[in-house]
Amino acid sequence: MKTTAFFLSDRTGITVETLGHTLISHFDTMEFTQIQRPYLHSPKEVAKVAKEIENISKNSSLPVLVFSSLVSAESRALLQNCNCVLFDIYNMFIEPMEKSLKIESSHQAGLSHAMGTFDNYKHRIDALNFTLENDDGENSNNYQMADVIIIGVSRTGKTPTSLYLALNYEIRTANYPLITEDLSSEKLPAILTKFQDKLFGLTINPVRLHHIRQERRANSKYSELSQCQYEIRTAEVLYKKYNIPFMDTSTMSIEEIATSILHSKKIQRQRDE
């Protein structure tokens, strides 16, 4: 079972694609060809896409799905008569919102992915710079500035999670690798004990860690299954001993790890609007 899904936007397309991807992920027995058409600045461009949709519809046994966050009334009208199942987000949400709030919207393309003020921008770039500078235990004299400090043995997902938190939520995220000396002594490194309330531990299934490390450095002591088992076991002992909240990332995406940390540490998500 196969069909096509279009994602139309007059701006970045991030909102309509995020929504559309979530929706089609609910239909796991269907295969969707996904076509992105962001930055549709004029009705003329939309008319072209409408033709594209018509052409694909003609050759498709199932209806073509169109997710649109277009704002221009003229552009939206062009889709109304198109042979497809149209989800016009503007229509579905903005109009009821206007009615219930008794206020008109700005009738401009959504600005949630726009730059915002210079201060917003600076705050975000500062969070990213902090995170880059405090990756992998570097620059640890700076931890009083961190919103959260992620700890774990090598290859549990610390760096991608930290960058995701900084870029998408403006969270100053440091990360610190637990190394053999920390593990064998069963003692938290001194630098971390001062910031215990900021710590969050990552753990992972040792077999999965072994696979990930094999990709990185095959047939080394570092990637041996017994070494992975030892590191994970002792890291978890450490987390429990110091009452550090921790999480098994074996089956989690970066998004899930990042948002779970915010949820667990009750850190307010900061977005620019």
**Residues 10 to 39 in contact with a second copy, rule: CB under 8 A:** 11-15, 17-19, 21-30, 34, 36, 38-39
What's the gap between Cα 54 and its chain centre? Answer: 33
Site string for a second copy, 195-224 (x = CB under 8 A): ----------------x---x---------
* Structural contact between residues 159 and 135, judged by C-beta atoms closer than 8 angstroms: yes
Q: From the CB of 13, what's the least distance to a second copy, in Å?
A: 6
271 in contact with a second copy (CB under 8 A): yes
* The only residue of 54, 167, 195, 225 in contact with a second copy, by rule CB under 8 A: 167
- Binding part of the chain for a second copy, among 47-55, 159-167, 187-195, 225-233 by CB under 8 A, reads 159-167
Which residues inside 246-265 make contact with a second copy, applying CB under 8 A? 251-256, 259-260, 263
Nearest CA to 177 out of 166, 167, 185, 189 is that of: 189
Give 220: exposed, middle or buried? Use CB within 10 Å, 0-12, 13-18, 19+.
exposed
Nearest CA to 177 out of 165, 191, 163 is that of: 191
Give residues with Cβ within 8 angstroms of 99, minimum separation 6. Answer: none
Nearest CA to 177 out of 166, 195, 192, 163 is that of: 192
Site string for a second copy, 85-124 (x = CB under 8 A): x-x-x--xxx-xx--xxxx-xxxx-xxxxxxx-x--xx-x
* The only residue of 66, 148, 151, 163 in contact with a second copy, by rule CB under 8 A: 163
